Amino acid sequence: MRQSQLFLATARETPSEADVVSHQLMLRAGLVRQFTSGVYSFLPLGWRVLQKVENIVRQEMDAAGAQEVLLPIVQTEDIWERSGRSEVYGEDMFRLQDRHKRNMVLGPTHEEVITLLVRQEVRSYRQLPVTLYQIQTKFRDEARPRAGLLRGREFRMKDAYSFDADALGLDSSYQAMYAAYCRIFERIGIEYRAVEADPGAIGGEGGTHEFMVLSEAGEDNVVSCSRCSYSANVEKASGQALTADREPTALDKVRIETGSATTIDQLSKFLQVDPSQIVKVLVYIADGVPLAVCVRGDHEVNEVKLKNVLGVSAVELASAEEVKEHVGLPIGFVGPIVSMRTIVDRDVLTVTDGVAACESEGYHEVHVLPGRDFPTDEIFDVRNVTEGDLCPKCGAPLLFQRGIEVGHVFKLGTRYSDVFETLYKDADGVDRTILMGCYGLGTSRIVAAIVEQCHDEDGIVWPMTVAPFQVHVVPVNIKDEEQSRAAVEFYTRLRAAGVDALLDDREERPGVKFKDADLLGMPLRITVGNKIRDGLVELKYRRSGHVDTLAVQQAFDAVLAMVK
Ligand SMILES: [Zn+2]
């Protein structure tokens, strides 16, 4: 491609509407343009990157045995009502009416549509297993679209769905998709984590993993082991149980006046005790029933873990009024012996000389011991991991990083096949319910995530496999006949060898061309300047900034070796 003909306008200034780096750089480099809030046009360079990402995804899906289909964007609302998800999505779904006043939606995802399709087509166990996928535009009417392509209202996704006869089959379909995702991110060349996640509201039993691209711009916290492959999101992450570092106190508990000190911070200062020795009691309402939860003062309750331990559909921290109603005390004075079911976090057992509220305003008890002074019948891990916690698998320290969620693999089980009565006949002719998995990958979000991870102060630094062009050929002065001829020849030879090359044939000052080249971020740059008289060109590596001065043929061979 000749740059003089490229539909592209680069910008020096950072656009004011963009708050994250990927959005700024993608606008400045002319990859995308916003049409309206959360809706973007891809310009030629951006489209080339997206297609390269999607081609890698397509190749790995095909290699994993999945078959590509294309499902309708326009869907009837009744199937969403049947699955119960019309209400779940609520205003997040784009809704419309056709000319017959029938309610329709623009698909945010395709579980309903594909389950109905498979229900029609699959009759026998002989047709299973099957995994179908598509790469398509999806819609979600986000309340606050932000961060450019990271959270848009119209976006590109690969979504795959597996259908199996039994749990063993589902396991293997899931593993095949998991492995394909790992290969996709390795081929793209970005740092990622496959993190254990909580199955959440989508339903279904068994495993689920989120694929996160590590980046400070991410909205999610990723907990990873500093030594082994353990990785989980904060909702799911669990450290090793802590051990007490002191003998339990031999003193009996004593009630002392603590005045207006109620928060952990105030109590810790007032009583000169470490927050880890304070027993914090919180009142929750679980499916309408109040209960108490004890954690150490330096820990926070993890409501997802609590919900799973209790096996309820919702837990919510009780309001001051609800605490007053159920316990008869202001929030800060609820102690560990309350006349209701009490869940104790397992690390409360490391309290050896504790402080706790004692159901009396203005007082606390000291020298409190769990088990001795309050019951510890129901012990679970119900807290968030924190800095200093150790890996549950190998005991090395856990690290906390930010991540952008770009993919998700999920065992749905019979969540949708139950609703849509998706059955197959087994070898004995008995009807059985098909087991499903779903596997999403946000391809336009991956493009933004790559830019978040791969850039420096001068611009984008594309990995070779997804760069819009692999090599940028830049003659310093296009009006110099010798430079121009050598540059065009180099560019033509690259193209003949199957390399994606961009030739900057514009009549611009060298400084402008070099700045644009850095901003656009092709991995390799061939600069043809005055040294061409001695048969030499410069090969610049965008990532390291390193420059080699090489004979033309040497440079050509070096480029070919790196591109292949
Ligand atoms: Zn580990």
CATH number of the structural domain spanning residue 481: 3.40.50.800
Residue range(s) defining the domain that contains residue 103: 74-107
Between the CA of 390 and the centroid of ligand 1 the distance, in Å, is: 8
Phi-psi map region of 451: left, alpha, beta (phi>0 left; psi -120 to 50 alpha): alpha
pLDDT confidence of residue 203? 45
**Rounded to the nearest whole angstrom, what is the distance from the C-alpha of residue 385 to the centroid of ligand 1?**
14
Residues 445 and 479 in one domain: no
Q: Which of 89, 107, 125 is the last residue of a domain?
A: 107
Q: Is the domain of 151 the same as that of 51?
A: yes
Below-70 pLDDT ranges, the chain? 200-206
Q: Do 421 and 442 share a domain, yes or no?
A: yes
The reply to whether 55 and 126 lie within a common domain is: yes
pLDDT of amino acid 24: 94
> Do 486 and 416 reside in the same domain of the chain?
no
Task: Give me ligand 1 centre to Cα 224, in Å.
Answer: 8
Please, which residues have CB less than 5 A from ligand 1, an ion?
Answer: 225, 227-228, 230, 391, 393-394, 396
pLDDT of residue 103: 96
Question: Is 185 among the domain residues?
Answer: yes
Look-up of token digits 């089959």: 169
Regarding whether 8 and 133 lie in a shared domain, the answer is: yes
pLDDT digits (tens, 9 = 90+) for 292-331: 999 999 999 999 999 989 988 889 999 989 888 888 877 7
Distance 174 CA to ligand 1 centre (A): 23
Residue 435, φ and ψ in degrees, nearest 5: -100, 135
Rounded to two decimals, what is the model's pTM?
Answer: 0.86
**Exposed, middle or buried: residue 60 (CB in 10 Å: 0-12, 13-18, 19+)?**
buried
pLDDT digits (tens, 9 = 90+) for 33-89: 999 999 999 999 999 999 999 999 999 999 999 999 999 999 999 999 999 999 989
What CATH number does residue 13 fall under? Answer: 3.30.930.10
Number of domains in the chain: 4
Note whether residue 249 is domain-resident. no
> Are both 119 and 208 inside the same structural domain?
yes
The C-alpha atoms of residue 299 and residue 320 are separated, in whole angstroms, by 21
Residue 28 pLDDT = 94
The CA 387 to ligand 1 mean position distance, Å, reads 14
371 plus 485 within the same structural domain: no
Whether residues 358 and 268 share a domain: the answer is yes
Which residues, at least 6 apart from 377, have a Cβ–Cβ distance to it below 8 Å? 342, 344
Do 54 and 96 belong to one domain?
no
pLDDT (tens digit per residue) in 450-487:
999 999 999 999 999 999 999 999 999 999 999 999 99
Q: Nearest CA to 159 among 90, 51, 68?
A: 68
pLDDT of residue 359: 79
Q: Are residues 157 and 187 in the same domain?
A: yes
Q: Residue 61: helix, strand or coil by DSSP? A: helix
